[in-house]
Amino acid sequence: MTIPRILIIAGSDSGGGAGIQADIKTVTMLGGHAMTAITAITAQNTLGVTGVHPVPVEMVLAQIDAVVSDIGVDAVKIGMIGSAETAQAVAGRLEALDVPIVFDPVMVATSGSVLADAATIAAFERLMDLAAVVTPNLDELAVLGGRKAVLAHGCHLAEKGGHAEGPDVHDRLFAPNGELAAELIARRIETGDTHGTGCTFASALATGLGAGLPIGEAFTRAVRFVRIALISAPGLGKGHGPIGHALGAVPFDELEG
Protein backbone atom coordinates (compact mmCIF):
# COMPACT_ATOMS: atom_id res chain seq x y z
CA MET A 1 0.00 0.00 0.00
CA THR A 2 1.33 3.43 -0.92
CA ILE A 3 0.01 6.59 0.62
CA PRO A 4 0.78 10.12 -0.61
CA ARG A 5 2.96 11.97 1.89
CA ILE A 6 1.91 15.64 2.00
CA LEU A 7 4.04 18.24 3.75
CA ILE A 8 1.98 21.26 4.84
CA ILE A 9 3.80 24.51 5.59
CA ALA A 10 1.26 26.84 7.16
CA GLY A 11 -0.11 28.49 10.28
CA SER A 12 -2.22 26.97 13.02
CA ASP A 13 -5.88 27.97 13.51
CA SER A 14 -7.00 27.50 17.10
CA GLY A 15 -10.62 27.44 15.93
CA GLY A 16 -9.93 24.40 13.77
CA GLY A 17 -11.60 25.72 10.63
CA ALA A 18 -8.63 26.77 8.51
CA GLY A 19 -4.84 26.55 8.47
CA ILE A 20 -2.98 23.44 9.56
CA GLN A 21 -6.10 21.96 11.15
CA ALA A 22 -8.12 22.16 7.93
CA ASP A 23 -5.14 20.89 5.95
CA ILE A 24 -4.67 17.79 8.08
CA LYS A 25 -8.37 16.91 7.94
CA THR A 26 -8.47 17.37 4.17
CA VAL A 27 -5.37 15.29 3.45
CA THR A 28 -6.60 12.54 5.78
CA MET A 29 -10.08 12.43 4.22
CA LEU A 30 -8.54 12.14 0.75
CA GLY A 31 -6.29 9.23 1.69
CA GLY A 32 -2.99 10.98 2.31
CA HIS A 33 -0.58 11.24 5.22
CA ALA A 34 -0.36 14.82 6.49
CA MET A 35 2.90 16.20 7.89
CA THR A 36 3.40 19.76 9.08
CA ALA A 37 5.85 22.61 9.42
CA ILE A 38 3.97 25.23 11.43
CA THR A 39 4.92 28.81 10.57
CA ALA A 40 2.76 30.67 13.08
CA ILE A 41 0.38 30.06 15.96
CA THR A 42 -2.82 32.07 15.79
CA ALA A 43 -5.53 32.72 18.33
CA GLN A 44 -8.71 32.80 16.27
CA ASN A 45 -12.28 31.67 16.01
CA THR A 46 -15.16 32.23 13.59
CA LEU A 47 -15.24 35.94 14.48
CA GLY A 48 -11.63 36.76 13.69
CA VAL A 49 -7.96 36.57 14.62
CA THR A 50 -7.03 37.98 18.04
CA GLY A 51 -3.35 37.06 18.11
CA VAL A 52 -0.50 35.82 15.91
CA HIS A 53 2.78 34.37 17.22
CA PRO A 54 5.30 33.61 14.46
CA VAL A 55 7.40 30.47 14.80
CA PRO A 56 11.14 31.23 14.54
CA VAL A 57 12.53 30.57 11.06
CA GLU A 58 15.02 28.02 12.37
CA MET A 59 12.20 25.96 13.85
CA VAL A 60 10.18 26.08 10.64
CA LEU A 61 13.21 24.73 8.75
CA ALA A 62 13.86 22.11 11.43
CA GLN A 63 10.33 20.78 10.98
CA ILE A 64 10.82 20.54 7.21
CA ASP A 65 14.19 18.82 7.59
CA ALA A 66 12.83 16.30 10.10
CA VAL A 67 10.06 15.23 7.75
CA VAL A 68 12.12 15.13 4.57
CA SER A 69 15.04 13.21 6.10
CA ASP A 70 12.91 10.37 7.44
CA ILE A 71 9.39 10.01 6.05
CA GLY A 72 9.82 11.64 2.64
CA VAL A 73 7.50 13.93 0.72
CA ASP A 74 5.33 13.42 -2.39
CA ALA A 75 3.85 16.94 -2.52
CA VAL A 76 3.99 20.19 -0.58
CA LYS A 77 1.23 22.63 0.31
CA ILE A 78 2.21 26.14 1.42
CA GLY A 79 -0.33 28.32 3.18
CA MET A 80 0.19 31.15 5.68
CA ILE A 81 3.93 31.77 5.58
CA GLY A 82 4.23 34.27 8.44
CA SER A 83 7.04 36.57 7.32
CA ALA A 84 9.26 37.52 4.39
CA GLU A 85 12.23 35.92 6.15
CA THR A 86 10.35 32.64 6.52
CA ALA A 87 9.24 32.76 2.88
CA GLN A 88 12.81 33.15 1.67
CA ALA A 89 14.14 30.42 3.96
CA VAL A 90 11.38 27.97 3.02
CA ALA A 91 12.00 28.62 -0.68
CA GLY A 92 15.66 27.78 -0.16
CA ARG A 93 14.78 24.46 1.46
CA LEU A 94 12.17 23.49 -1.11
CA GLU A 95 14.49 24.10 -4.07
CA ALA A 96 16.06 20.71 -3.33
CA LEU A 97 12.75 18.84 -3.55
CA ASP A 98 11.54 17.48 -6.88
CA VAL A 99 7.85 17.20 -5.99
CA PRO A 100 4.69 19.21 -6.85
CA ILE A 101 4.30 22.33 -4.72
CA VAL A 102 0.91 23.97 -4.26
CA PHE A 103 1.16 27.57 -3.05
CA ASP A 104 -1.90 29.21 -1.52
CA PRO A 105 -0.88 32.88 -1.13
CA VAL A 106 -2.76 33.57 2.09
CA MET A 107 -3.10 37.29 2.75
CA VAL A 108 -6.40 37.83 4.57
CA ALA A 109 -8.51 35.47 6.68
CA THR A 110 -12.18 34.92 5.87
CA SER A 111 -12.98 37.19 8.82
CA GLY A 112 -10.98 40.02 7.23
CA SER A 113 -7.90 39.78 9.46
CA VAL A 114 -4.63 40.54 7.65
CA LEU A 115 -2.19 37.61 7.69
CA ALA A 116 0.59 38.89 5.41
CA ASP A 117 2.29 42.29 5.29
CA ALA A 118 3.69 43.97 2.17
CA ALA A 119 7.19 42.51 2.64
CA THR A 120 5.81 38.99 2.96
CA ILE A 121 3.67 39.40 -0.15
CA ALA A 122 6.73 40.63 -2.06
CA ALA A 123 8.58 37.47 -0.96
CA PHE A 124 5.82 35.35 -2.50
CA GLU A 125 7.59 35.85 -5.84
CA ARG A 126 10.21 33.23 -5.01
CA LEU A 127 7.61 30.72 -3.83
CA MET A 128 5.65 31.16 -7.06
CA ASP A 129 8.83 30.37 -8.99
CA LEU A 130 8.91 26.98 -7.27
CA ALA A 131 5.19 26.19 -7.38
CA ALA A 132 3.53 23.74 -9.72
CA VAL A 133 0.29 25.59 -9.12
CA VAL A 134 -0.72 28.78 -7.29
CA THR A 135 -4.23 28.99 -5.81
CA PRO A 136 -5.27 32.60 -5.05
CA ASN A 137 -8.79 33.83 -4.65
CA LEU A 138 -9.72 36.74 -6.89
CA ASP A 139 -8.72 39.41 -4.35
CA GLU A 140 -5.32 37.79 -3.81
CA LEU A 141 -4.85 37.39 -7.55
CA ALA A 142 -5.31 41.14 -8.00
CA VAL A 143 -2.66 41.89 -5.36
CA LEU A 144 -0.25 39.51 -7.11
CA GLY A 145 -0.65 41.49 -10.35
CA GLY A 146 -3.27 39.41 -12.13
CA ARG A 147 -3.30 36.24 -14.19
CA LYS A 148 -0.39 37.06 -16.50
CA ALA A 149 1.86 38.07 -13.62
CA VAL A 150 1.31 34.77 -11.82
CA LEU A 151 1.67 32.63 -14.94
CA ALA A 152 4.95 34.41 -15.75
CA HIS A 153 6.48 32.34 -12.94
CA GLY A 154 6.00 29.18 -15.00
CA CYS A 155 3.31 27.68 -12.76
CA HIS A 156 -0.28 26.65 -13.26
CA LEU A 157 -2.91 29.01 -11.86
CA ALA A 158 -6.02 27.75 -10.10
CA GLU A 159 -8.26 30.82 -10.30
CA LYS A 160 -10.92 30.37 -7.64
CA GLY A 161 -14.19 32.12 -8.35
CA GLY A 162 -15.88 32.11 -4.97
CA HIS A 163 -15.30 35.84 -4.37
CA ALA A 164 -16.92 36.88 -7.67
CA GLU A 165 -20.53 38.04 -7.94
CA GLY A 166 -23.35 36.09 -9.54
CA PRO A 167 -25.39 32.93 -9.03
CA ASP A 168 -22.70 30.63 -10.45
CA VAL A 169 -19.10 30.04 -9.36
CA HIS A 170 -16.47 29.70 -12.09
CA ASP A 171 -13.31 27.86 -11.01
CA ARG A 172 -10.63 27.90 -13.69
CA LEU A 173 -7.28 26.17 -14.12
CA PHE A 174 -4.77 27.85 -16.42
CA ALA A 175 -1.63 26.23 -17.82
CA PRO A 176 1.67 28.16 -17.64
CA ASN A 177 1.24 29.19 -21.30
CA GLY A 178 -2.07 30.85 -20.45
CA GLU A 179 -4.34 28.23 -21.98
CA LEU A 180 -7.49 27.29 -20.07
CA ALA A 181 -6.82 23.73 -18.92
CA ALA A 182 -10.09 23.21 -17.03
CA GLU A 183 -13.19 25.15 -16.03
CA LEU A 184 -15.84 24.10 -13.56
CA ILE A 185 -19.11 26.04 -13.34
CA ALA A 186 -21.52 25.31 -10.51
CA ARG A 187 -24.38 26.97 -8.69
CA ARG A 188 -23.21 29.12 -5.78
CA ILE A 189 -23.82 27.55 -2.38
CA GLU A 190 -25.41 30.29 -0.26
CA THR A 191 -23.78 30.01 3.15
CA GLY A 192 -21.83 32.10 5.62
CA ASP A 193 -19.85 29.07 6.75
CA THR A 194 -16.88 29.36 4.41
CA HIS A 195 -13.95 29.51 6.83
CA GLY A 196 -11.13 27.32 5.54
CA THR A 197 -12.23 26.89 1.92
CA GLY A 198 -8.95 28.18 0.49
CA CYS A 199 -6.76 26.04 2.73
CA THR A 200 -8.93 23.02 2.06
CA PHE A 201 -8.84 23.44 -1.72
CA ALA A 202 -5.06 23.80 -1.82
CA SER A 203 -4.51 20.78 0.41
CA ALA A 204 -6.94 18.68 -1.60
CA LEU A 205 -5.11 19.67 -4.77
CA ALA A 206 -1.73 18.82 -3.24
CA THR A 207 -3.02 15.43 -2.11
CA GLY A 208 -4.19 14.62 -5.62
CA LEU A 209 -0.88 15.66 -7.15
CA GLY A 210 1.03 13.73 -4.49
CA ALA A 211 -0.99 10.64 -5.41
CA GLY A 212 0.07 11.03 -9.03
CA LEU A 213 -3.18 12.36 -10.47
CA PRO A 214 -2.98 14.59 -13.57
CA ILE A 215 -3.40 18.22 -12.55
CA GLY A 216 -6.80 18.55 -14.25
CA GLU A 217 -8.15 15.55 -12.35
CA ALA A 218 -6.63 16.74 -9.07
CA PHE A 219 -8.18 20.19 -9.64
CA THR A 220 -11.63 18.74 -10.30
CA ARG A 221 -11.49 16.53 -7.23
CA ALA A 222 -10.36 19.43 -5.04
CA VAL A 223 -13.26 21.62 -6.18
CA ARG A 224 -15.70 18.78 -5.60
CA PHE A 225 -14.35 18.14 -2.09
CA VAL A 226 -14.74 21.81 -1.12
CA ARG A 227 -18.29 21.96 -2.45
CA ILE A 228 -19.38 18.89 -0.51
CA ALA A 229 -17.66 20.25 2.61
CA LEU A 230 -19.54 23.55 2.19
CA ILE A 231 -22.84 21.70 2.02
CA SER A 232 -21.81 19.70 5.10
CA ALA A 233 -20.85 22.70 7.27
CA PRO A 234 -21.72 21.90 10.90
CA GLY A 235 -22.90 25.43 11.76
CA LEU A 236 -20.43 26.21 14.51
CA GLY A 237 -19.56 29.61 15.98
CA LYS A 238 -21.10 33.06 15.78
CA GLY A 239 -19.29 34.29 12.66
CA HIS A 240 -17.84 32.66 9.55
CA GLY A 241 -18.17 29.02 10.54
CA PRO A 242 -15.97 26.14 9.41
CA ILE A 243 -16.84 23.88 6.52
CA GLY A 244 -17.53 20.21 7.14
CA HIS A 245 -14.37 18.25 6.36
CA ALA A 246 -15.96 14.95 7.39
CA LEU A 247 -18.54 15.55 4.62
CA GLY A 248 -21.49 14.92 6.91
CA ALA A 249 -20.41 11.45 8.00
CA VAL A 250 -18.52 9.79 10.82
CA PRO A 251 -15.97 7.75 8.81
CA PHE A 252 -15.38 5.24 11.63
CA ASP A 253 -19.08 4.44 11.77
CA GLU A 254 -18.97 3.46 8.09
CA LEU A 255 -16.68 0.55 8.87
CA GLU A 256 -17.91 -2.96 9.59
CA GLY A 257 -16.47 -5.28 12.17
Q: Is the pLDDT of residue 104 over 90?
A: yes
Active site residues: 160, 194, 196-199
Give backbone dihedrals phi and psi of 38, rounded to 5 degrees, phi first: -80, 125
Mean pLDDT computed over every residue of the chain: 94
Q: Is the dihedral of CA 34, 101, 127, 170 positive or negative?
A: negative
Is 206 buried (19+), middle (13-18) or exposed (0-12) by CB count in 10 A?
buried
Higher pLDDT, 166 or 56: 56
Position 225 scores a pLDDT of: 98
**pLDDT (tens digit per residue) in 107-128:** 876 666 667 788 888 889 999 9
Residues 6, 75: contact at Cβ < 8 Å?
yes
Percent of the chain with pLDDT over 70: 97
Rounded-to-integer distance, Cα 73 and Cα 63, Å: 13
Position 102 scores a pLDDT of: 98
Strands 133-134 and 5-13: what pairing? unpaired
Q: Is the pLDDT of residue 70 over 70?
A: yes
Lowest mean pLDDT among 68-72, 107-111, 131-135: 107-111
DSSP-based three-state secondary structure for 190: coil
DSSP-based three-state secondary structure for 96: coil
**pLDDT (tens digit per residue) in 147-203:** 999 999 999 999 998 877 788 999 999 999 999 999 999 999 999 999 999 999 999
Higher pLDDT, 242 or 116: 242
- State the average pLDDT over residues 227-256: 94
